Amino acid sequence: MIKNVRNERVIPFFKPTIDTEEQEQVNEVLQQQVKSISKVEELEDEIKAFIGVENIIATNNATSALHLSLSAMDLKRADKVLMSVNSFVNLPETVRHFDAEPIFIDIEPNGFNMDIDKLESYLEQNNSKKLRALMITFVAGEVPDLKRIYAIAKKYDLIVIEDAISALGAMYDNEMVGSTGADMTIFSTNYSNSKAAISRGGFIATANEEFANRARLLRTHAINSSFDEYGNLDYTYDVVDIGFKYDMTEIEAAFNLAQFYKTNAFCERRQEIAEIYNEKLSGLKHIVLPKYDPEHIYSQYIIRVSKNRDGFARVLKEKGISTGLHYIPLHLLTYYKKKYKLKITTYGNALSTYGQILSLPIYPSMSDDDVQYVCQTIQSVASEWI
């Protein structure tokens, strides 16, 4: 058996990459340098140009953006929304806030995204007027077969909402994700679920003017008014619907703007780390690596551990290396398991995959020395693993 020894070296699962650009952007706001455009509007314009889409609506976080997108499409009680069972909890959570029903679809047998064959099979057998939307998750930034998904959605008259929270900067068929044909795409500048995140920010990207205008209206209490350069309400105002407080602050926008400018550099650095992982960790006993793809942006680097994944993760933790799970299948979570009386065997691919997956640290501020330490530690543990 492996002898576990506490290690003083600590490599977190995720750590933000911050330098002078973030400080300079935030200082502009703190010094109240009034410009003709706010930081929020500047950020929206920059992302709009980067993706190549007509509308960007910034929100205070990505979950707010998801909830706002469902409000923009006027989701109703008892409506149904299809999604991968291998999604983060904010997808079904936002659907349930409308008293609507999330419908889970299993994942690919050798992947982490929704199994499109099973999606199509479900729709063939359960076509209903209550089926309103299809949420597509890009696990680890990996892009699914969007052309096929859009064709299926068109056939069954479904609104497509892309959960591309971890896919900012990803490409599909020579187009930027967010401009490829979905009704709405959700992004985040900080896809980590860290409780102590430095900053958060969400975005809706859409070419649909009706959805965009409604999302902008509902984002700030559905207040119908003009604002001055400081963001103050006009002397009089009106409220025309039930809205939310989902707008992004100027300081958040300033920080997110600096982070956004590094999108391509962040993607390139994660690709470099993934390439090192694939080189150093190949051929290890009980370890299966993701196939290296130079087009993949590797928001997560997910391996499979074929024997005692949890024990393997514990040993890495004791040696200072934190890992993650992307994701715990939704039907295994207490609320959804009880609410919909779901059996753990209902989604066989997701269940078997979940028992093996392990996400390794991969973030731009990791040094080559950090990456080498992770590799050496995994090599050592795997060589003795039973």
Domain containing 316 — which CATH number? 3.90.1150.10
Residues 126, 61 within the same domain: yes
Residue 233 and residue 300 share a domain: no
Q: Give the integer Cα–Cα distance in Å for 254 and 26.
A: 5
CB of 102 closer than 8 Å to CB of 83 = yes
Asked if the structure places residue 6 within a domain, the reply is no
Instruction: Say if 3 falls within a structural domain.
Output: no
Domain annotation covers residue 322 = yes
pLDDT value at position 3?
A: 46
Q: What's the rounded mean pLDDT across residues 316-339?
A: 96
Is the same domain home to 255 and 314? no
Are 302 and 193 found together in one domain? no
Tokens at 93, concatenated: 């959570």
Residue 12 falls within a domain, yes or no? no
CATH of the domain at 58: 3.40.640.10
pTM over 0.75, yes/no: yes
Lowest-confidence pick of 8-12, 246-250, 271-275: 8-12
Nearest Cα to 255, choosing from 93, 62, 72, 17? 17
- Give the residue among 108, 92, 101, 81 at the shortest CA–CA distance from 350: 108
Say if residue 52 is in the same domain as residue 161: yes
pLDDT at 34 over 70: no
For residue 61, tell me if it sits in a domain. Answer: yes
Question: Domain tally for the chain?
Answer: 2
Q: Is 308 left (phi over 0), alpha (psi -120 to 50) or beta?
A: left
Q: 272 and 153, same structural domain?
A: no
Q: Does one domain contain both 248 and 360?
A: no
81: CB partners within 8 A, 6+ apart: 70, 75, 95, 100, 101, 102, 103, 132, 133, 134, 135
341 with 292, same domain: the answer is yes
Q: Residue 13: inside a domain, yes or no?
A: no
Q: Which tens digit of pLDDT belongs to each residue from 41-97?
A: 999 999 999 999 999 999 999 999 999 999 999 999 999 999 999 999 999 999 999
The answer on 203 and 154 residing in a single domain is yes
Going by pLDDT thresholds of 50, 70 and 90, the confidence category of residue 299 is very high
Last residue of a domain, one of 233, 260, 287: 260
pLDDT in the model for residue 33: 61
Residues 213 and 122 reside in one and the same domain? yes
Instruction: Using pLDDT thresholds of 50, 70 and 90, give the confidence band for residue 4.
Output: very low
Domain residues for the domain of 364 are 263-384
Is position 9 within any domain? no
The answer to whether position 1 is within a domain reads no
pLDDT at position 193, please? 67
Lowest mean pLDDT among 23-32, 108-117, 171-180, 229-238: 229-238
The token pair at 167 is: 């896919």
Q: Are 75 and 194 in the same domain?
A: yes
260, 294, 319 — which closes off a domain? 260
For 106-111, the CB contacts below 8 A with 24+ separation are 106/347, 106/348, 106/349, 106/350, 107/347, 107/349, 107/350, 107/353, 108/349, 109/349, 111/142
CB 258 within 8 A of CB 22: yes
Of 226, 260, 294, which residue sits at a domain end? 260
What is the model's pLDDT at position 1? 39
Same domain, 187 and 64: yes
